[in-house]
Amino acid sequence: MKLTAKIKLLPTPEQAQNLIDTLSRANQACNALSEIAWENKQFKQFGLHKLAYYPIKEQFGLSAQMIVRGIAKVVDAYKLDKKTKREFRPTGAIAYDSRIISYKPPRKTVSIWTIQGRQSIRYAGGEHNEALLKFQQGESDLLCRKGKWFLLATCDVPDEQTSEINSILGVDLGIVDLATDSDGQRFTGSEIRKYRKKRASIRASVQAKKNAKASKSTIKNTRRLLKRISKKEQTTSTIINHTISKRLVKKAQSSVRGIALENLKGIRDRTVPRLRKKQRNEHSSWPFSQLRQFIAYKAQLAGVRLVIVPPAYTSKTCHECHHLGHRSGKSFTCTNCGNCSDADHNGAQNIAAVGASVTWPENSTLYCALHRC
Ligand SMILES: [Zn+2]
């Protein structure tokens, strides 16, 4: 499985300047290559290489691999459309391959080619990246965002051997509790809810100021502030999604279970009308697709089987007697057997049951029961 590790570099000020110069020189070379491609109507890798490799190498003093990557970047850019001449920003990302970059995880440094020669630059690495970097293979993109330097490193992670499983842990994703599993455990800290409520009220008051008669500069400032708030919310929800998915996968792994998730095309359509507006605002914009992705790849990394089940009736069926019941907000009542329980827990138990009924294809970690793929 191909995954990308996002590595934050910690260059010294001189190293940072060096990276800027390298990025800018490489993009200048790309512009020169683009010019040659455009003039000669030569948009193929081999043809452009033949035409431009030596003159560009001579002119820009870049390493051979840099030029080769540059030619690939230009050819790639013309693939979409050959009717507009391509230009590249001086800070556009550039690709490094293993000949001009190497990672040294024990020392948390990366050895990277620059126009001042090879540099050994420190990087910040979390647990997740450390694990991924062991499988680093192929290209890395060097990019600069708001003065911070990152490497996006391609990692080819081997699939863990999947072990035999005893049963299935069903997971219901919902808006009030972000996730509820079939054991009845809920994955929503009240802190998250409080945090988002507070954010929402700040957002509302800023919005109100923006709507009131305000000068141009005030509008500009509030717009900036709103953007900052949403960025911060995004970071927070990503961290929370990482935490929830990690806990779910660990739980399944330690109890020798697989995980069943609903195919959630319509989580919003399904859940939103049930909720009062106040509740809706708290989580309706939650990045559920990201949460599902995180569960999927963490499960695969850990060798935990994951099955995607069709969502039909899982929220409306009674898990005890399989009759249709009533769901109102967070509570579920069955008119047939009298079962009365938490709606999401009931849903998660149904999902687990559907997941357990699936016949797994051999040697596969991920199985989509919906499309049988
Ligand atoms: Zn029932």
Q: What is the CATH number of the domain that holds 302?
A: 3.30.420
Q: Do 81 and 182 fall within a single domain? A: no
Give me the mean pLDDT over the 166-174 stretch.
89
What percentage of the chain reaches a pLDDT higher than 90? 41
**Would 328 be classed as within a structural domain?**
yes
Share of the chain above pLDDT 70, in %: 87
Range of the domain at 280: 167-187+245-368
Token pair belonging to 338: 């009298």
Decide if 48 is inside a domain.
yes
Based on the fold, state whether residues 101 and 34 are members of the same structural domain. Answer: yes
Whether the predicted pLDDT of 283 surpasses 80: no
CB 295 within 8 A of CB 249: yes
* Beta carbons of 369 and 358 less than 8 angstroms apart: yes
Q: Which two tokens stand for residue 348?
A: 């998660």
Q: Please give the pLDDT value at position 271.
A: 47
Rounded to the nearest angstrom, the distance between the alpha carbon of 90 and the centre of ligand 1 is 65
pLDDT, position 185: 92
pLDDT at 227: 85
Instruction: Measure CA of the first residue to CA of the last residue in the chain; give whole Å.
Output: 16
Q: Which of 29-43, 203-217, 226-240, 357-371 has the highest mean pLDDT?
A: 29-43
Residue 346 C-alpha to ligand 1 middle, in angstroms? 10
- Strand extents, DSSP E, the chain: 2-10, 94-96, 101-104, 109-114, 117-124, 136-145, 148-156, 167-173, 179-181, 257-262, 306-309, 326-328, 331-333, 340-342, 366-368
Residues 45 and 69: their CA atoms lie apart, in Å, by 10
Exposed e or buried b for every residue in 38-72, given b needs 16+ CB within 10 A? beeebbeeeebbebbbeebbeebebbebbbbbbbb
The total number of structural domains in the chain stands at 2
Q: What is the 343 CA–ligand 1 centroid distance (Å)?
A: 12
Q: Span 110-114, mean pLDDT?
A: 95
Do residues 123 and 181 share a domain? no
Span from the CA of 321 to the centroid of ligand 1 (angstroms): 4
Please name every residue paired with 145 in a beta bridge, in sequence order, or none if there are none: 148
Considering the domain architecture, whether residues 346 and 262 belong to the same structural domain is answered as yes
Asked if residue 227 belongs to a domain, the reply is: no
How far is the centre of ligand 1, averaged over its atoms, from the C-alpha of 344 (Å)?
A: 15
Distance 260 CA to ligand 1 centre (A): 22
- The two structure tokens encoding residue 78: 């013309």
> How confident is the model over 256-278, as pLDDT tens digits?
999 999 876 544 444 444 555 55
Query: Does residue 330 lie within any of the structural domains?
Result: yes
**How is residue 318 written in tokens?**
């009674």
Question: Both 173 and 128 in a single domain?
Answer: no
